[in-house]
Amino acid sequence: MTDTGDARRALRDAFGTFMTGVTVVTTLDGSRNPLGFTANSFASVSLDPPLLLVQIARNSVNYVNFTTSQHFAVNILAEGQKDISSTFARPVADRFAGIDWQIGPVGSPILPAVAAWFDCTLFQVVEAGDHAILIGKVEAFHATNAPGLGYYRGTYFTPVATQASIPTGPDIIVSAILEKAGQVLLVDDGFGGLTLPTARVGRDGTGAALAALIGQSGLTAAAGPLYSVYEDVARAQQHIAFRCPCTAGQPARGAFVDLAPDSFAEVTDQALRVMLERLAEESRMGNFGIYFGNQDRGQVALVTGETT
């Protein structure tokens, strides 16, 4: 097991370096046979506690094993491991054949010579249409100086390639949904409209960017649950929004508005406006979900057991 502060730093560093990296997600079945699949739907959820997520298709032969296991590991592949990525993406009889893997501290297979690995206990499974979202709590990790293997729009790339040949990945944008007493904070978007407090994620990662937004708001608030993850294809941006309940303070800029559709008429970004309208409806009903998709369409996975 690892210190919580160390795990937070590992997540922060990983998502500053490997956000578009290729991973192999692993676990053991009931007979302790190793299982694994290639994934690049890998994202940070929380730094306190340190949580990450991956997705698995419902039609995967490994679906039942991964969603019922008590643990899984995320192996971030190094630049020379394209063959491993391809092997774990294909229907191969024994994907671990010829690989000198080992059992990690929590009990999942760790692959050799990877750029980094996170060994997790299963924190939550969220059903999301034709996929399930596996949320893991980081219990142990290790990182090396090896460059990670990237994948973007059908092409592998590595940091040691020439800059001209590296595809440009999407910017990561984080939004803070600062809530208090049935209201949400909106700020000037600089173009005559309103928006949420929003920032581009830098090298320190999503958690640091969200903490900075909260710190700049003038409010006492907690980094709350993940609420929305979507890709804005036209702008080459990935948006991540977190609900952040406020307990005290006055806004340093902007103002609180009621959580009601009429309050969002001046929100110029349509995707954010639709998200806020969904939040207003879910707040009224007391059931919340996590949205995954793009700026036009996607799916909402309900999160049970939450109350307002």
Average per-residue pLDDT for the chain: 83
Q: Do 198 and 102 share a structural domain?
A: no
pLDDT digits (tens, 9 = 90+) for 38-80: 987 777 787 778 888 999 999 999 999 999 999 999 998 988 8
Q: Do 143 and 191 share a structural domain?
A: no
Closest CA to 71 of 115, 116, 117, 40: 117
Q: Do 198 and 156 share a structural domain?
A: no
Q: Do 49 and 86 share a structural domain?
A: yes
Q: Do 125 and 195 share a structural domain?
A: no
Q: Do 142 and 255 share a structural domain?
A: no
Residue 114, classed as helix, strand or coil, is: coil
Q: Do 140 and 196 share a structural domain?
A: no
Per the listing, tokens 């010829």 go with 98
Residue 308 lies in a domain: no
Per-residue H/E/C for 140-167: EEEECCCCECEEECCEEECCCCCHHHCC
| Least confident residue range of 25-29, 85-89, 209-213, 286-290 | 286-290
Domain region containing 286: 171-303
Token digits of residue 55: 């997705």
Closest CA to 76 of 121, 34, 111: 111
Name the more confident of 171 and 158. Answer: 171
Closest CA to 66 of 25, 22, 24: 25
Which residue, of 165, 194, 210, is where some domain finishes? 165
Q: d(Cα 239, Cα 290) in Å, to the nearest integer?
A: 13
What pLDDT shows up at residue 301?
Answer: 67
Q: How many domains does the chain have?
A: 2
CATH of the domain at 69: 2.30.110.10
Pick left, alpha or beta for residue 181 (phi over 0 → left; psi -120 to 50 → alpha; otherwise beta). Answer: left
Q: Do 202 and 68 share a structural domain?
A: no
What pLDDT shows up at residue 44?
Answer: 77
Which residue, of 142, 165, 188, is where some domain finishes? 165
Q: Do 278 and 243 share a structural domain?
A: yes
Q: Compute the 3-state secondary structure of the chain and give helix, strand, coil in percent, each to the nearest 5.
A: 20, 45, 35
